[in-house]
Structure 1
Amino acid sequence: MNVSVLGCGRWGSFLAWYTNRVGHDVMLWGRPGSKNLESLRLERKNEYLELPETIKFTDSLEEAVESAEIIIISISAQQLRSFLQTVSALPHIDEKIFLLCMKGLEAGTGKRLTQVFKEEMGAGCHVGVWLGPGHVQDFRKGIPNCMVIGSDEIEVTKKTVEAFNSELIRFYYGQDLIGNEIGAATKNVMGIAAGMLDGAGYSSLKGALMARGTRELSRIIRAMGGNDLTIYGLSHLGDYEATLFSPHSNNRRFGEDYVKGIPFTKLAEGVATIEALHHLSEVYDVELPICSALYAILFEHKETSKVLVDLFLRPVKFEF
């Protein structure tokens, strides 16, 4: 099967490596002038992995989309809408399957990424999400993990799971698109909170963060029409080890560096997701104490340690 991966950063290059590894003809796209793409063309490797000769490179979006049956998109969540406005003008897009391999919510609107996709690409286009735990560094060493693929169209889910399932990544069918998308996006938020606890010397509170974080996020999923149990699945709770504890997690490292006053130069998608959750909390009238605390720290510049202590040491109340 012909597969194109749009986006050649850390995760995009891994997706090209993986989908080629499981037997597909793969083309990896990067924007014209992309330093990542030029480096891969010259050396066929980045700081995470080496790409085989069978993977093709292109900076032509039309070539990448036209040549593939399944198109994987791996770019910043906040760039998705503007990017899709370009993709939507290409021919034959309603014949393709698109998989969104990113975790986030649109900051200004709180919309899920499949909602953004449908608005820009049209209801006739086929879209799914590829979500769940795992780091490039671990997969490259052959350490397996479990992930989720889901769509509103069961045939899209079945076809993509069948195409990409392997001993390295065991895929499950995502049955609740709302819950999986919200869960995947908000695990980055909990990752930032975990990093802040690490940076402030309160790492022992990460257990409380896990317990309380899942509870409050299940409420917003239920309010939005999803299954509140999905938060306890692979897209969210299943990703906690890779996000709340791993040294490889950009979101956890961002939170720790923020508390320590260290500049952070990589992408931490959870920051924009905090802004989106603040909006959703107001729209659905759902209290999100942890998300509100992070919003106060990052967007209202409140003192980190005090906000975190006040959050976890609130007046005595029943746990459930």
Structure 2
Amino acid sequence: MNISVLGCGRWGAFLAWYVSHIGHKVMLWGRANSDNLKELRINRSNQYLKLSRDVELTDSLEKAITFGDIILISISAQKLRDFSKRLKEVGNLENKKYVLCMKGLESSTGKRLSQVFKEEMGFGIKSAVWLGPGHVQDFLKGIPNCMVIGSEDIELTKIIVNALNSDLIRFYYGQDLIGNEVGAATKNVIGIAAGMLDGLGYSSLKGALMARGTREISKLVRAMGGNDITIYGLSHLGDYEATLFSENSHNRQFGEDFVKNIKFEKLAEGVSTIEALSILSSKYNIELPICKALYEVIFNNKDAAKELLDLFLRPVKFEFI
């Protein structure tokens, strides 16, 4: 099967490596002025991996769309709307299967990425999401993990899972698109909180953060029409180890660096997700204490130690009411 990967950052390059590794023909697209693409063209490698000669590199979006039966999209979540408009201008979009391979919510609207994609591309487009735990560094060491493919069409989900499944990544069928997308996006937010706790020397509170984080987000998912149990699956709780504890997690590292006043140079999608959650909290009238505390710290310059400790030292109450 021909698979195109759009986006050649850390995860996009890995996706190209992975689908080539399991036997597909692969084309990897990047912007003509992308430093990532330039490095791959010169060395066939980046700081994480080396691509085989079988992976074709291109800066032609039209060529990449024409080539792929399945199109994997791995770009910044906040750029998806504009990128989707660009895709639509390219044309030749029919009979393609699109898979969104990033985690986030649109910061200006709170919308899920699958909603953004369909609004711009048309609701007849076949699309799915690829979510769940796993770091490039671990996969390249041969360490396996479990992930999720989800869509509104179970037959599409099955086709994509069958194409992508391997001993390195075992896929599950996502049964709740709302819960999976919101869960995947918000685990990055909990990851930022975990990093702040690490940076402040309060790492022992990460257990409480995990317990309260899942509870908080499950209420939001239920209010949005999803299944609150989904939050306890792979897309959210199942991704906590890779996000709240790993040195490879950009979001956890962002949180730690933030409280230490160290500038973080890489992409931490959870920051934009915090903005989106502020919108969703108001829209659905759901209290999101962790998300609110992070918003106050990052966007209103409130004291991180005070805001985070107040989360766990709130007035005495029953745990599960």
AA aligned opposite 2:159: K
- Give the drift of 1:33: 1.1
What residue number does 1:93 align with? 93
- Give the drift of 1:154: 1.2
Matched, 1:228 2:228: yes
AA aligned opposite 1:98: Y
- CA deviation map 1:24-51 (0-9, x unaligned): 0000000011110011011011001111
AA aligned opposite 2:88: S
What residue number does 1:103 align with? 103
AA aligned opposite 1:47: Q
- CA deviation map 1:178-229 (0-9, x unaligned): 0000000000000000000000110000000000000010000000000000
Instruction: Give distance in 1, aligned partners of 2:7 and 2:31.
Output: 8
What residue number does 1:260 align with? 260
AA aligned opposite 1:51: L
Instruction: Give distance in 1, aligned partners of 2:90 and 2:255.
Output: 39
- Give the drift of 1:91: 2.4
90-99 vs 103-112, which deviates more?
90-99
- CA deviation map 1:55-109 (0-9, x unaligned): 0000000000011100000000000000000101222312100000000000010
Matched, 1:280 2:280: yes
AA aligned opposite 1:224: M
AA aligned opposite 1:314: R
For residue 128 of structure 2, give the secondary structure of its aligned residue in structure 1: strand
TM score, norm. by length of structure 1: 0.99
Instruction: Give distance in 2, aligned partners of 1:179 and 1:118.
Output: 18
For residue 93 of structure 1, give the secondary structure of its aligned residue in structure 2: coil
Matched, 1:196 2:196: yes
- CA deviation map 1:86-137 (0-9, x unaligned): 1012223121000000000000100000000010000110000000000000
Matched, 1:62 2:70: no
Q: Note the 1:42-53 alignment, pairs <5 A.
A: 42-53=42-53
Instruction: Give distance in 2, aligned partners of 1:231 and 1:94.
Output: 33
What residue number does 1:178 align with? 178
TM score, norm. by length of structure 2: 0.99
What residue number does 2:206 align with? 206
What residue number does 2:291 align with? 291
What residue number does 1:139 align with? 139
Instruction: Give distance in 1, aligned partners of 2:59 and 2:240.
Output: 35
Instruction: Give distance in 2, aligned partners of 1:91 and 1:271.
Output: 33
For residue 146 of structure 2, give the secondary structure of its aligned residue in structure 1: strand
What residue number does 1:112 align with? 112
86-95 vs 178-187, which deviates more?
86-95
**Percent of aligned positions that are identical:** 69
What residue number does 1:31 align with? 31
- CA deviation map 1:233-268 (0-9, x unaligned): 000000000000000000000000000011100000
What residue number does 1:159 align with? 159
Instruction: Give distance in 2, aligned partners of 1:176 and 1:90.
Output: 31
Gaps of 5+ in 2: none
AA aligned opposite 2:15: L
What residue number does 1:305 align with? 305
Instruction: Give distance in 1, aligned partners of 2:266 and 2:91.
Output: 34
Instruction: Give distance in 2, aligned partners of 1:182 and 1:99.
Output: 16
Instruction: Give distance in 1, aligned partners of 2:174 and 2:259.
Output: 35
Task: Please give the root-mean-square deviation of Cα atoms over the aligned residues, in Å.
Answer: 0.5
AA aligned opposite 1:99: V
